[in-house]
Each structure stands twice: as structure tokens, then as C-alpha cells.
Amino acid sequence: MMAAKGNAFSVMMNSQKRKLADGAAKTASQPAKKGHWSMGLLSSMEDPALKVDSDDRVVIIKDKYPKARYHWLVLPKENIPSLKAVSSEQLDLLKHMHKKGQELIDRTEDAKHLIDLSFRLGYHAIPSMSHLHLHVISQDFDSPCLKHKKHWNSFTTDYFIDSEEVMEELEKDGKIADKGSRNDRLKDPLRCHVCKKEQVNMPKLKAHILSHIAKPGDKK
Ligand code: AMP
Ligand code: ZN
């Protein structure tokens, strides 16, 4: 009885948390208060344990809950809450963020050539965390933090928008259109991102994707 109550409470709290997060990232006019969990990226930008690189315009950190073997976030030093607040003025900054992410991937060559990993750079349609961040993520998705369907679909459906697509849209339209309608993608069936076969649940999917990861010594 108690357990059922506890579950209902945590379901309610989690749904509340997502609403708050979406709101935090949504409203440039009403930013979340300092110290709110959705502002956590700001403190992580200062955390030497997470920081991997920086220059005068950006900071790169390790994602605190990585969804793959390599998962970084590139963040501008300038205060930009999300893609909604971006205009043509920031096109050069977005290009710079992409370039810094790509350079980091290239520097990781030593480790990744052993397993021949590919990477994607992109943004979530509806970010949960405030402060603009570009995901740089390897496509193995081999991580204990990748647990839920929402996690999977947020990186493997068009909920994940490639950085190139975002830069093209900004160059063409001078702004990024609201991508809120892509929220439904999170409920899509679980599908392997490599062979597209549908999988019945997360444990089956996680076991399946391991079969696509080349191991050291495999023929390329
Ligand atoms: P999203 O806002 O959905 O684009 O993704 C936010 C990302 O930030 C997720 O991949 C989280 O794992 C990651 N994350 C959440 N909190 C922190 C934190 N305090 N420091 C670093 N990364 C975080
Ligand atoms: Zn597959």
C-alpha cells in the first residue's frame, strides 16, 4: 500500500519536475531561479571535475549523466537560456560551439579508433536544463545512465536536432522555430538506431545495441 503511494508520489513529482524544467528552458523572460536544479549546468561549468576545455566564448563539460561512452556538452559563456533566445547574431557562436565539439571528437581519435565510434552533435527539441547546450555524443549508447525510453528516443529520433540543421535554419530564417511538437517522439516505439529493428523493452534494446559496437581488433 505504502509502496504504491510512494510510486504515485514519485510519478507525480517526476512529471512536475519535467514541467518545471520545460518551463525553465522555455521562458527567456522568466528564467528559473539560481539554485534551481534546472540551472545545474551553470555550476557544472565551474566544476573542474567536469570541465574538459574552454576558451573566451565557450566551456565544454562532461555530461554528468552520460548516455554513451563519450558525452559532452558545449556551453556558451554568454547567457543564452535556449535555442528560443537565439537570433542571427548568435550564428557565429553556434558555429564556434560546433567547431569546438568537433575538435574534441578529433582529439579523442586515439581512444575511439580502437572501437571505430561515430558521433553526433545536436540539441534537444525541448531541453530539460536551462542554458544553451550542444550535445556531443558517441553513438554506442553504452552507458548505465541510459535507462528509460525517453532517454533513448531523445537521442535517436528527430527530438535530437543535428547542429548542422540548427545552423542552417538560423542562417535561412534568422531564428529557430519552436520544436515543441516533437515532444511526441519521446513516446515512439523503441527502435535500434543502427538496423532500425524494433525492440520490446530497454534491457532487450541495450543488449541488442552492444552487438553493433565494433570491438578492438574487429575488421573495419
Ligand atoms: P537536455 O536539457 O535534455 O538537452 O539535456 C541536459 C543534459 O544535461 C542531460 O544529458 C543530463 O544528463 C545533463 N545534466 C543534468 N544535470 C547536469 C549537471 N548538473 N551537470 C552536467 N550535466 C548535467
Ligand atoms: Zn540493430
141 three-state secondary structure = coil
Whether ligand 1 lies within 6 angstroms of the CB of 41 is answered as yes
Angle of helix 149-156 versus helix 202-210 axis, rounded to 10: 50
Q: Topology of domain 40-210, per CATH?
A: HIT family, subunit A (3.30.428)
The half-sphere exposure of 159 on its side-chain side, counting CA atoms within 13 A, is 19
Measured distance CA(22)–CA(19) in Å, rounded: 5
Q: Which atom of ligand 1 is nearest to the CA of 61?
A: 21
Q: How far is CA 53 from CA 33, 41, 58, 96, 111, in A?
A: 27, 15, 8, 13, 18
Measured distance CA(215)–CA(115) in Å, rounded: 5
pTM here is 0.85
Predicted pLDDT at 20: 36
Which residue shows C-alpha cell 529520433? 157
Residue 14 has pLDDT above 60, yes or no: no
Q: Which residue has the higher pLDDT, 214 or 129?
A: 129
Whether ligand 1 lies within 6 angstroms of the CB of 124 is answered as yes
pLDDT in tens, 16-71: 344 333 334 444 445 566 778 878 999 999 999 999 999 999 999 999 999 999 99
pLDDT in tens, 153-191: 999 999 999 999 999 999 999 999 999 999 999 999 999
Residue 114 has pLDDT above 80, yes or no: no
Residue ranges per domain, the chain?
Answer: 40-210
137 Ramachandran zone, left/alpha/beta (phi>0; psi -120 to 50): beta
Average pLDDT in the chain: 85
Q: Does the annotation count 113 as an active-site position?
A: no
